[in-house]
Every structure is written in C-alpha cells, then in structure tokens.
Structure 1
Amino acid sequence: MERMPIYGPFAKYYEEIYSERPYQKEVEFIESMLQKYDLEGRILDVGCGTGQHVKLLNEKGYYVMGMDASEEMLEIAQENVKNVEFFKGDMKDFTTSETFDTMLCLFTTMHYNKSMKEVEKTLRNFYNALGRKGIVIFDISLTEDVRGGPSLHVHADDTLQIARVGLWRPRGDVMHAKFLFLVKDQEGMDFEVEKHVLGLFNLEQIKEVMEKIGFQVKMYQDFTLEAYSNEAHRPVFIGLKNIKE
C-alpha cells in the first residue's frame, strides 16, 4: 500500500476531520453479523487508522488486532487502545501468525487497491487469514460511475480550526484526489497539499472476484440490515467462508 499523506504529518488531526463518522453504528452492524453467523469475534481490522473501530469492539469484549500501513496512525491507535496489538502491514501482501473469524476493511481503505487485480490479491489475503470459517466485511464508497467535483470539510473548536478542500477527478479506473489542508492550532498555522490515487470499482466485478476466491457474497447498504438496492446507498460487502445459511 502506498503511504497516504494524511496518515503522516496530519495523522494527529484525523479524528477531528472525521469526527462525524458513525463509528458506533458501524460497530453495531459488525456485531450483528458476528451474532448472525455465530462467530466468536476474533477480529483483524485492516486499515485500522487511529483505532476507533478497534476501541469500540475491544470495549465489547472481542479479541481485536489492528493493521495499518502508516506508522503515525499506528502510534495514535496504540495510545487510544493500549491493551490491543497493532502492527504495520500492506493489505496486498501480509501474513499473520494466527487466524481470525472476522476481517474488517472499512471506510476508503479498499480503494487504495488501484485495480481489480490488486483487489483480488487483497481479498485472497483476507480469505487466507480467516480460520476454518469466517467473514470479511468491507464497504465501497467510489464506483466507476462516480463523478468528480469539489468537497469542503470544516472543523472548529476552542483550540483547533481545520479547513479541508477536496478536488476529485476520475480518470479511467482511478480517482485522483487532491486535498488542501489549512490548520490553525495553538502552535500557529500550517498548510499542506496531499494527493491520493484511489481505485474505482464495478460492484459486480467485486462480487465475481469474491466468488472466484471462494466467498459466498451478501450485500447490505449503509451499515444497516437492509439488502443493497441501488447506487444511492453505500454498499457493504459480506464475504462468507465455509458458512451456510
């Protein structure tokens, strides 16, 4: 996985930038899947970031580990959840000394695969990291039909102000994203420009790759128990390994 700039010098602002993200709702969905498929809850969160999902799952008593490509993010995650093991790794090329019954890959993490070939490699790694049976859960936010354009995010409190302008330009099978950050805190002001290249995916192709690997595929929307219906909703993929319904 290529190093993602926001997960470097600006990693300390990640939680403020995404403070409105519904972590609790997503964890409740994950827990519902564990219960549905009668899984113990040995979980590896791939692309764990600052460990927000890991923290909530750990508090619920599940055995959780976190993996990320960014040392800066992992340092923050370890501070947030001191009794959990975090390690550095690339989702396209990793092995673990133990197996899990649940693999997570949430938010935009899957999009750092820039082709279906890379998606397949990542999903095979997930399949191999699962034990005799288990599930993989990941969501997709960028499809091949997405349009480019600007975005704006602002965070402000008594000690910190952040403005982030995003410029999104689809080119072929990838999205070129440029983020402009202006940060003002007690130490002064800072300005940073980041560039990301994210894969754009066809949902049917993802399903075909998952089935090729050996997963039975289910799709939900927006981290609810409603079956995925159309592009107005965020698709959440569930891959079942050796689980019959």
Structure 2
Amino acid sequence: MGELYNENLAWVYDEIYQGFIDYSAEYEFYKYLCNDYNCNRVLEIACGTGNLAKSFTSDFSTYVGLDFSESMLNIAKEKFPAGNFIQGDMRHLNFVKHFDTILITGRSTSYLLNNTDLKKTFKSVHNALEDKGIFIFDCINANLFISYIIKNSSVVHKSTYNKKQFERDSYWVKNKNNNYHLIDWKSTYYQLNDSEKKVLGEDSTLFRVFSIKEITEALQHSGFNILEIKDRETYAFDTNVYICQKK
C-alpha cells in the first residue's frame, strides 16, 4: 500500500477521487446488488474516507466501514461522525456478530499481492459471514489492463472537485515477478491554478491485477460459490465484479 493512504496524502486521495468517481452512481451500483440478494447487515472493507458510508447507513439496518489506514478513517469520521468505522486488516477479520453481506470496494483486492494473502482474505470473509452470506468485490481485469499498459506506459487523469482542479500523472509497468500479475505504479499529484501546477505529493506502489481463473480458484478453495461475474468499466480500469455466496 502506497503513500497515498497515509497521513500526508490521504486528503489528496479524498478530494481527487471525488472528481474521478461518481460516488452516487457507485453507491447505486452496490445498493442494487445488495437489494437483489436481500442484504441488510453490511460490512464494507476498504471504506477509505467514507464516501459510501452515509448512504449505506441510511438504507441498511447495519453498516460497518473497515479500513487498514487510520489516516483515511480519520477523514471518514470527520465527514460522517455518526458512521461506524473501525481500523482492521481484511486478512484477519474478527467480529462476534456475523454479517449477511461483505463488500470489498474500490478495487482494493489489488493490494493482495500473493495467493497466501488472497486466500487468507477470502477465508477471513467466509468466517465473518453468516450461512449463505453474500460476498461482493471487484478486481482489475489482468488481460485487459496489461494489454493497455503495454501500449500506454503513462497516462494523465484530471479531476475537479469543490472548485479545485487536480491532475494525476501515472507511470506503470509490469513487474518482473513471473508468479503473479504485478504492476509497478508511480504517480505524481498536482493541484492546478491557472497555468501553474503545484506538486502535492508522489506515490509509488506495487499492486496486482487478476485473471478470472485466479479468482475463481481462490474462491472455490475458500468455500464460496460464484453467483455472478459482471464486467464493469471504471474511470481508469476494466474490472470484474464477483457476487459470491458462502457455501
């Protein structure tokens, strides 16, 4: 996990991503899936700065937002003081009461860099779900993304939020690790004022993209049935959304 989620840059994440992502549409996407499977008690893993939390809290009987980053959670609590936020690791969930639905949002599976962590997470989610509980998460599609970065080793994304203009310049290359689809990603974040570009910070991270075969095998190993796989485009990545059920 890179610097973007730590104290110095967490506020940049919060503002720039609200220009990248339509969080109202993002919430409606997950709400539709949850309603389709009669979900009521929701755990959102990787809730970040809480951009979905208020909506989930309003519409569902239980909502808990979990994130690994204390800096991100501090912003979430400031924006939505009534929210139920906790710090935790998706690989080691520890809840007394089980949920009927667990989400991993924001393509945060990308930080599960090896199969051990992937299976630990899926097993941890399995243990935190009630019988026949629903597990929904998204992954960056390896085949599409790697083909893209071979042709586009750098890309610029612009964002406008709260009358501020931002820019993210990204540079990515496939990591030389032959066991997994790992990507080296470097980004520089700017705030734009007229013709001036002010550097807000830099981030360098390693993340993982997945084939459907990799995810399917890990889910089967961890005790899940796949109910649906949806293809979904986002502002920057082609993703697969998995809707699964605990066996």
Same fold (TM over 0.5): yes
1:179-190 equivalent positions in 2, closer than 5 A = 179-183=187-191, 189-190=198-199
Matched, 1:151 2:155: yes
1:67-82 equivalent positions in 2, closer than 5 A = 67-82=66-81
Task: List per-residue Cα deviations over 1:48-75 (Å, max 9, x = no partner).
Answer: 0011122221122441111111111101
Check 1:157–1:239 CA distance in 2 against 1; reply closer, same or farther (3 A cut).
closer
Structure 2 gaps of 5+ residues are: none
- The aligned length equals 229
Separation (CA, whole Å) in 2 of partners of 1:192 and 1:33:
36
**Does the 8 A contact of 1:58 with 1:64 survive in 2?**
yes
SS of 1:133's equivalent in the other structure is strand
Matched, 1:65 2:70: no
1:1-245 equivalent positions in 2, closer than 5 A = 2=1, 4-8=2-6, 9-19=8-18, 20-39=20-39, 41-144=40-143, 146-147=145-146, 148=149, 149-156=153-160, 160-171=164-175, 172=177, 173=180, 174-183=182-191, 189-217=198-226, 218-222=228-232, 233-242=238-247
Query: TM-score, normalised on structure 1?
Result: 0.84
Separation (CA, whole Å) in 2 of partners of 1:117 and 1:145:
24
Separation (CA, whole Å) in 2 of partners of 1:182 and 1:127:
40
Q: Equivalent residue for 1:226? A: none
Which range moved further: 141-150 or 117-126? 141-150
Identical counterparts, % of pairs: 26
SS of 2:89's equivalent in the other structure is coil
CA displacement at 1:211 relative to structure 2: 1.6
Separation (CA, whole Å) in 2 of partners of 1:31 and 1:38:
10
Higher relative contact order (CA closer than 8 Å, sequence separation 6+) = 2
